[in-house]
Amino acid sequence: MPRASRAQAEQHRQEVLDAASALVRENGADRVTVPEVMAAAGLTHGGFYRHFRSKDDLLAQAGAAAFAERARFMEQILEASGDRQAARREFIENYLSVTHRDNAGQGCATAALAVDVTRAEAGSPLRDAYVEGLRNMVDKLGELGERPAEGSDRERELLIELSVLVGALTLARACAGDDLSERILEIGKEFLTGP
């Protein structure tokens, strides 16, 4: 049987990365296995090490891919809107929506991976990818909405906003099925955008 071309190999690698990114956000890093990821990508387990050095390498790259996906989503909102304040509102409403709450596998890595990363050792590939993704998320948030007044602490404002977004989404997911979940989402939106 002939070996896969470079283009096929890269396509397979991307399929594995996409599958891992979704599974890690849905189930958590500790609950994802290499055979499960390869099966989700439609490939055999034996081909894994042609694409990744280790499971840790895969998890770090999957986390980075999830952050990159969210950054592209934010860019699309801004491009479609053309108005920074409207883009900020749309992003917040999308982020704190029931749809986002109920679809962790396609959602933001910031909320989905936070608990896994707190358990990871300092300097682990997953933690490093998460911190880099978090920094990029703050930068992307800074591109949405009105610029704060001169002299204000921009980073502080963005970190508070991100903390409210991630905290509200995480709490809403934790109590999904209870009316408190929807209330948390609504209050988070009101706090960040006004009534």
Contact 66, 24 (CB under 8 A): yes
pLDDT tens digits, one per residue of 51-109 = 888 899 999 999 999 999 999 999 999 999 888 989 999 999 999 999 999 999 999 99
Contact 98, 182 (CB under 8 A): yes
* Closest to 124 in 3D by CA, of 48, 76, 57, 70: 57
Q: Could you give all domains of the chain from N- to C-terminal order, each with its CATH number?
A: 6-193 (1.10.357.10)
Burial 7-37 (b: 16+ CB within 10 A, else e): eeeeebbebbbbbbbbbbbebebeebebeeb
pLDDT tens digits, one per residue of 113-148 = 999 999 988 889 999 999 999 999 999 999 987 665
SS3 67: helix
pLDDT tens digits, one per residue of 20-57 = 999 999 998 889 989 899 889 888 777 787 888 889 99
Terminal CA-CA length for the chain: 63
